[in-house]
Each structure stands twice: as structure tokens, then as C-alpha cells.
Amino acid sequence: MTQANKKRASSLRKVLILRPDNLGDVLLFSGALVRIRGHYPCARIILVVKKSVRPLVELCPYVDKIVNWESLTNPLGSIGLFLSKTKGLWRFNAVARFIRCFFMKSDLILLPVRSPSGGLSGMHQIVKIIPAREKIGISGDFCNQSLLEDGRADGYYTQRLKLIPCQKEDHELVITYRFLKFLGIKGLPKTLWPELWTNKSDRIWAESAISPRLQGNIMIAIAPGVTSIPGKFYPGKNYAQAFSKVTGKTFQVVILGNSAEKSMCDEVEMALKGLKHIQGVTNLSGKTTIRQFVECIRLCDLLISEETGALHIGVALKRPTIGIVGGGHFKRFYPWGDPEINRIANFPMECYGCNWECRYSEAKCIQKIKPDQIADHIRILLDFIDLGTRNNRKPVLVPC
């Protein structure tokens, strides 16, 4: 970094980072926060995330304040939702949004989201109305926005990292790496390993919630829930078939998910309870906070999950994982980590890369994954599960 750039970075007093996407996206970005903190040493750094994601980052030592995204887009709460849908009254909500955003005035706004959403309360519009000397974002990805929306937004930013078509499948970690280099942050590692922040009470809760490990058992976490397109859930009977093919070992299972995923978690629980070599199933769906969820995965030897935030948590914790992965965003988010222990079960199809705009009534790229494939991965990963040394693996520095 030149002396002029160093002086400019150290002169900034308020930096606003907008990261209003889902749990997995924010988790994959978390490793960048320490680099941003070091680059703007004198700045008050404010991180904006969705209310549901806030517990993931509220203990982060690299930011000074967390703000809920919803407080910017809909500052009037339920009243604002009513006004926005009422003829002639939507302007009141728009004025409240403008006033709330005005008070977020900053020296620098960062929107490190590769494909921001549009609309009146979308990411571009919030960047537009918050006053700032500099506004830096990303352009060229049309997953959540049209070419026209992306082009119109150019005038809202002082600078944007331009992605080209051949970078469409580049992993999120790679995009974050490029964004930080675009900011002038030098000396970066080849990847930015995600960080997770929990506390002692989270660990104590997880230890008390999970049944004590019986001698010789393998502790497996399963996060089967999905909340996106219909037909993406991998049926409980398939998990049972996979485990029935893995002999010579005994297992205890911890099922994890949020309250919206409870019925799916219950289905997997019922399917597994009949297997003789599974010596206990603890269903914690809808019972954990995000940080407790993290600590539950940390206590387990292996995680099996669909491509959700849970899977990224498992990889970030350097746990052996099996990702049940479809083709909607293949390579964009997963796989990453260590290919020896972070494995995928998938069924490649010609329609991979569909952005989950599925042409079928169910996601065939998920439903056609054979339980045998998952069983094979379990057998391979059992060789890596050494209860004395499982935390000693070094993180791999590139996405798989």
C-alpha cells in the first residue's frame, strides 16, 4: 500500500459494511473482518446484517457495532409493512427509511455482495440514500438482479469491483479475496478462513443438551433442513438406508435445525430410531441459538448436511463433513475446505447452474443422490475420525 493510501485509510472515522444476506454468506465473509479492521485502524466499524444472522457475529471483536438490516429497510416495523402495502400511504414508510438511512452517514460504505438484490428497499437503494464520501461495491453478477438494475446502480457507487462472465462460478471466498485486494488490502492469504465467535455459556449449553458419548461411539450431527425450493429436502428414509450400509461401528446422532425445519428433522429422527447400531438420537431442532448450534457441531465427529449454513459451519470448524449438494449454485458456495474430509454427495445434471430456478417439480439433482454414495463417504471419513487428534488438521488454503 502506498503512503498516500495508508494515510487515507487511517483518516477514515466511520466505515459501514453492509452484509444483509443469509447465514452461510455472512459466515463465508467472516474471515475478512479482521483484515478490514487492520486496514482501517482508526475507524468505527459498523456491520449491518439481517436480524436472524446477528447472533453469528455479535461477539465479533473486529467490529464496533452491529445494526439490523431491517432497521434500515423497514424502520417502522409491522406498521411500515402495513403502510407499504396501502395505497397512498407507502410514502410514509419510504420517508422513514430515508431518515433512518440519513443518520447512518459514514465516510465509507462497503457492500461486498456479488449480486445485490434490487427493489425500493434493496441493497442498491440503501447504498444510494446513505450519505458517504465513498461507496464501494461489486458489479457484473446477475444472480439476484437484472443487467438493467446492475447498470442503473453504477451511479450510486464511487467504485465497483467488476466481475466478468468467466468468474460466474468463482467461489465466494475467491470473490471476497478479490474485493479486499480491490480495497488495497495487501498481504492476504490465499483464502480467508471463516471465523466463529461463541462464549462459555454456549459451550456449556451444548454439552448439557447432547447425551453423553458412550464409549466407542461415533457422534454424528445431521442438519437435514432446507427452507428454499420445494422438493429439495433429502428424505429421512435415505439417511436410514445410508447408515444401514455402514457396519462395524455404533453411532449417536444429534439432529440440528431451526424451528421452520422441525418437521424435516422429526422425519429423519423417526427413520433413524429403528437402526440397531444407532444408540441414541437427540433432536435439537428449534431449540438452539445460532451459537449453541455451532457448539453442538463442534462436539460431534462428523456432520452430514444439505448445502446450508450448517454445512459451512462444519467446514469452518474443520470437522469432517458430507454435503448433500444440488446444482443450483454448484461451486459458487460449496465445495470448499479440505477435500479429504469435506466431501460432497451429488448427482450432476446438465441443468447445473440453474440458480435454483428448477424446471422440475422436485430438485432431481438432490433426490437422485443414492444413499450408497453417502454411506461410502461415511466409511472414508471414519478413517479420519481420531478423537485425540481431530482438531490438529491445518485448514486448506483454497476452495476445493
The pTM of the whole model exceeds 0.85: yes
DSSP string, 329-368: TTTTS-S-S-TTTEEEE----TT---TT--SSSS-HHHHT
- Cell numbers of 373, please? 454414495
Q: For the chain, which ranges sit under pLDDT 50? A: 387-390, 400
* Listed residue (298, 320, 312, 338) closest to 377, CA to CA: 320
Q: Are 164 and 193 in contact (CB under 8 A)?
A: no
Single out the residue of 139, 141, 136, 137 nearest to residue 170, CA to CA: 141
Rounded Cα–Cα distance for residues 372 and 105 (Å): 55
Q: Where are the domains of the chain?
A: 3-182, 201-382
Question: Whole-angstrom Cα distance, residue 361 to residue 378?
Answer: 30
Predicted pLDDT of residue 227: 81
Give 70: exposed, middle or buried? Use CB within 10 Å, 0-12, 13-18, 19+. middle
Rounded distance between C-alpha atoms, residue 291 and residue 133, angstroms: 36
- The sign of the torsion formed by the CA atoms of 286, 287, 288, 293 equals negative
Correct CATH for 3-182 of 3.40.50.2000, 1.10.10.60, 3.90.1150.200, 3.30.70.20 = 3.40.50.2000
Dihedral pair phi/psi, residue 154, rounded to 5°:
-50, -40
What pLDDT is recorded for position 90? 60
SS3 of 279, please?
Answer: strand
Rounded Cα gap, residues 115 and 330, in angstroms: 16
The CATH label, of 3.40.50.2000, 2.40.128.20, 1.10.150.120, 2.40.340.10, for the domain at 201-382 is 3.40.50.2000
Beta-bridged to residue 28, according to DSSP, are none
Q: Tell me whether the CATH fold assigned to 3-182 matches the one assigned to 201-382.
A: yes
* Residue-wise pLDDT tens digits, 350-400: 999 898 989 998 899 999 999 999 999 999 999 888 644 445 555 555 564
Q: What is the pLDDT of residue 226?
A: 92
Copy the grid coordinates of residue 92: 410514509
First-to-final CA distance of the chain: 30
pLDDT at 11: 82
pLDDT number for residue 133? 95
Amino acid identity of 8?
R
Burial 89-128, CB ≥16 within 10 A → b, else e: eeeebbebbeebbeebebbbbbbbbbbbbbeebbbbbbbe
* Residue pLDDT, tens place only, 280-323: 999 999 999 999 999 999 999 999 999 999 999 999 999 999 99
The sign of the CA dihedral 371, 375, 376, 381 is: positive
